[in-house]
Amino acid sequence: MIASPPRTIRIGSRKSQLALVQTHWVQEHLQKAFPDRAFEVHTMSTHGDKILDVALAKIGDKGLFTKELEVGMLQGEIDFAVHSLKDLPTHLPEGLVLGCVTEREDPADALVVHAAHQDKQIDTLPKGAVIGTSSLRRLAQLRHHYPHLTFKDIRGNLNTRLGKLDAGEYDGIILAVAGLQRLGMGDRIHQALPPEVSLHAVGQGALGIECRAEDSEILSLLKALEHPPTACCCYAERAFLRELEGGCQVPIGVNTSLQGDTLTLTGIVASLDGQTLVKDTLTGTSDQSEQLGIDLAHRLKQQGAQKILDEIFAQIQRH
């Protein structure tokens, strides 16, 4: 009796250039690890990809870049989806799990400047210089440190944003170091912002692969891509965010380091105007990573983060 060939694995991805680069990286590494298997990429447009003329914070859906892919998994159209982990909500739909976290690229935020400012750093840009960002997290922290700068929303894929910058609509824009590097545009990074200036987004720089909770075959294949030190840091960060109930619309930043068995997590909650920042650091052991995130969230809430969050949620509901 001839055994039937193993099933073809269908990988879900957004259609953006960066999403496809990341998904093809996953496909290539799985193909190398399992040469006898077939892996196909299936693309979908998400809600966040279609609405490009509205600030992300105003759309207000936490599953902005993931929902359609999740429906595809639950309906059996795809077997797993590749996300930038920072886009993946901390509460997943019933039946889906975070099956794998890949090794993290540099999670820092990057300043990319117009040609006229090549001799400047973020702290030496002239008063009124226009900085583009679509992230409230970046906006709040940069407003806090550089109140003399002007901030303007920017949407679109990486090439669109860089085109707007080069055309002179902005003096500088803030992007993720990892995204620029993955697209082979690392030479556009003018300055990687230090954590003292901008704590990065939860999960930034890592890929998160989401799959069906009951699909043991897929879960076992994904183990080949799992990077335990990155997973440990990201689970702490995601627990911190989940406990604070934050999504795209809330200025929450983190920085994590793992030395041996010692995990250190720094977190921040900022008001939208950048006037108030609540920030603290906790250290624990790597086997208690999620608890560390929860404990840090509680500590920040006691220090005033809850008041900031309540005000932001009230503001969002009014709009």
- Indicate which residues carry an active-site annotation: 87
Residues 6+ apart with CB under 8 A from 314: none
Tokens 């900022």 -> residue? 270
Paired with 39 in beta bridges are 9
Write a three-state SS string for 7-64. CCEEEEEECCHHHHHHHHHHHHHHHHHCCCCCEEEEEECCHHHHCCCCCHHHHCCCCC
> 297: Cβ–Cβ under 8 A, 6 or more apart, which residues?
239, 240, 241, 243, 244, 267, 305
